[in-house]
Structure 1
């Protein structure tokens, strides 16, 4: 099989699987796609495409959950994101591919491990702490399209419940990814070629989103999340090994 065709099939399968996870839990798309695609491409090639797909995924999921969004918390979180995103985008354009891949792999592994072990914030965060979580999300989102975990930890530690947390995350991803995409366009890191690649991958992603929403009512949430996070940890280790070889050669 032609190598380019094999890669496209792998990318399509990855995006569909990530869409399935996103449709189920409202998060995880970027973590899966960046970890998998970074095995073959530099972050600067992967991140713009993932940002465009994330925006499309949020628009797909947004109807019906708008009124559940916790807008006050989201506003303070986004204030931190606005401050952190330019730093992340600068890192994306100025850090060489191999070290960036290694950093992304380590970040994904550690965050996935924390989430899989059930790490949560045990008290209600104040405004400065909320903004700090947003700052971390902005930097990670701009640099590697993995800004979700700090926000996930924040919202799912809230006493508001899973429905409100999931809705707030969907709105969060829509707004932050639009912001990060805007910075990428302004710094010429996002091109028409990235848009074409995202358009090609949009169909398998939509299929995954649809199937994920259907599976939501049939699979225990804790079991599903543990499996997904284990998959992320394995992918991040593979990425780290491959990137370390590139860095040393």
Structure 2
């Protein structure tokens, strides 16, 4: 069987396991899928062609989760975050395609490491941030999403606020889906979406379903305090992984 992107059988199997693990994290936390998978893929092959694949996977996973999250989505937050992201995305994709994702990833991951450490210290935002604040975070997220980590600044932003676990997870899932729907056409215009992208996404479908189902079961068993701590630790791990990956490749 011919694999997309000329992958060897061994590499494809390893990426399949990474996909399952990343889908489990997405099923549990609502974010982290793209950052985990892209970082792992970079250890084995050129990760750039996989960025549109993981965005397509994010969209497919939302189909698995839609029924259970609909009532918990904070649509006001999602709307203003998307407005900000839509402003930044055309510029950020253009920059990423011209200078490469690693340079941007180092700066972005460094900022998220600092934010995660701050959150672990117990710091929180003392008042609700309005439309301008959400739009500004959306701009930062849009700048980050060309490197596949647009969810991390939003997750850090929500973790610093008194957001219930179900609302955090549902809002992240819907926001990332909308973000990816905006980003994919820009990547297509940049030449990153090919038939191999479609084939890889279709091959990933059953693995995604299993991973999201397992992660969702774990979420239902978690307490709100444990969920927040897990989300912050995941942020720290992903940002540190992004820094290491960018510096060694």
The answer to whether TM tops 0.5 is yes
Does the Cα contact within 8 Å between 2:112 and 2:235 map onto a contact in 1? no
- Give per-residue Cα distances to partners, 1:49-84, cap 9 Å, x unaligned: 111111111222111221221112221111101101
Does the Cα contact within 8 Å between 1:88 and 1:139 map onto a contact in 2? yes
Residues 229/136 of structure 1: CA separation in 2 closer, same or farther (3 Å cut): closer
2:41 maps to which of 31, 37, 40: 37
Does the Cα contact within 8 Å between 1:93 and 1:189 map onto a contact in 2? no
> What SS does the corresponding residue of 2:220 show, helix, strand or coil?
coil
What CA distance in whole angstroms lies between the structure 2 residues aligned with 1:95 and 1:240? 13
Residues 31/175 of structure 1: CA separation in 2 closer, same or farther (3 Å cut): same
Deviates more, 1:212-221 or 1:85-94: 212-221
**Structure 1 segments unaligned to the other structure (5+ residues):** 244-249
1:178 maps to which of 163, 178, 181: 181
- Give per-residue Cα distances to partners, 1:25-66, cap 9 Å, x unaligned: 111111111211122333431211111111111222111221
What CA distance in whole angstroms lies between the structure 1 residues aligned with 2:114 and 2:238? 9
2:80 maps to which of 76, 97, 101: 76
What CA distance in whole angstroms lies between the structure 2 residues aligned with 1:71 and 1:59? 18
**2:3 match:** none
What CA distance in whole angstroms lies between the structure 1 residues aligned with 2:73 and 2:141? 18
**Structure 2 segments unaligned to the other structure (5+ residues):** 1-6
**1:64 match:** 68
Residues 47/157 of structure 1: CA separation in 2 closer, same or farther (3 Å cut): same
Matched, 1:115 2:142: no
Query: TM-score, with normalisation over the residues of structure 1?
Result: 0.84
RMSD over aligned CA atoms reads 2.4
Does the Cα contact within 8 Å between 1:55 and 1:177 map onto a contact in 2? yes
Matched, 1:101 2:102: yes
Matched, 1:206 2:181: no
